[in-house]
């Protein structure tokens, strides 16, 4: 436990939630991908179902952890954070925000009456993507605030909008 505290610069016990949450969410993502692959290959309801699921989950978990640690090293100097555990928090916020914006866009498109059955599928996806963009911006700031990283995401948001030529939206 002491190695984890030192590696991620954890000073208080409550900060341990972020590495634990990161490991748990990575395992969950690996499991969900493994189950999708299981159905894709038609191995559900066979003798190999759980062997395949556990094996692929562990393999994907290992690969995802290696990828995230590589990303941490690359972004450590670029993102100005006080402690390394904040990097985990930032990655979790990005993951939740992206997933939530993608999930919420579908019902919003249906709610405004431009669902899959109402318009051509190309127009549906264009509208859905156009809805995802502002929704993502609002969710990023909101979820970042919930995780205690408002200032990082506010600065990130302003920089992103300026690069897109929309800097006037975030003074």
- The SS3 assignment for 119 reads coil
What is the distance, to the nearest Å, from the Cα of residue 55 to the centroid of all Cα atoms in its chain? Answer: 24
CA dist., res. 86 & res. 16, Å (int): 11
Tens-digit pLDDT profile for residues 8-49: 888 888 988 999 999 999 999 999 999 999 988 888 888 888
Contacts of 11 (CB under 8 A, 6+ apart): 83
- HSE (side-chain half, CA atoms, 13 Å) at 66: 6
Q: How confident is the model at residue 171 (pLDDT cuts 50, 70, 90)?
A: low
Inform me whether the pLDDT recorded for 1 exceeds 80. Answer: no
| Residue 104: both structure tokens together | 């919420």
pLDDT winner (highest mean) among 32-46, 49-63, 106-120: 49-63
Mean pLDDT of the chain: 89
Q: Which residue has the tokens 């899959």?
A: 116
| Residue 76: both structure tokens together | 């450590």
* pLDDT at 118 (0 to 100): 81
CA dist., res. 88 & res. 143, Å (int): 14
User: Please, are residues 100 and 139 in contact by the beta-carbon 8 Å criterion?
Assistant: yes
What torsion do the CA atoms of 165, 168, 170, 171 make, to the nearest 10 degrees?
A: 130
CA dist., res. 57 & res. 68, Å (int): 16
Spatial CA neighbour of 97 closest among 47, 134, 52, 48: 134
Q: How confident is the model at residue 88 (pLDDT cuts 50, 70, 90)?
A: very high
């Amino acid at each position: 436990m002491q190695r984890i505290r030192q590696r991620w610069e954890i000073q208080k016990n409550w900060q341990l939630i972020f590495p634990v949450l990161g490991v748990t969410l990575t395992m969950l993502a690996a499991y969900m991908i493994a189950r999708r692959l299981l159905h894709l290959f038609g191995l559900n309801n066979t003798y190999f179902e759980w062997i395949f699921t556990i094996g692929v989950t562990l393999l994907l978990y290992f690969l995802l952890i290696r990828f995230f640690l590589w990303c941490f090293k690359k972004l450590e100097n670029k993102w100005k954070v006080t402690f390394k555990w904040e990097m985990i928090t930032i990655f979790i916020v990005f993951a939740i925000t992206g997933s939530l914006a993608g999930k919420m866009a579908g019902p919003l498109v249906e709610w405004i009456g431009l669902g899959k059955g109402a318009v051509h599928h190309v127009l549906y996806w264009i509208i859905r993507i156009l809805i995802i963009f502002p929704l993502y911006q609002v969710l990023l700031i909101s979820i970042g605030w919930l995780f205690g990283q408002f200032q990082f995401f506010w600065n990130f948001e302003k920089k992103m909008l300026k690069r897109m030529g929309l800097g006037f939206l975030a003074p």
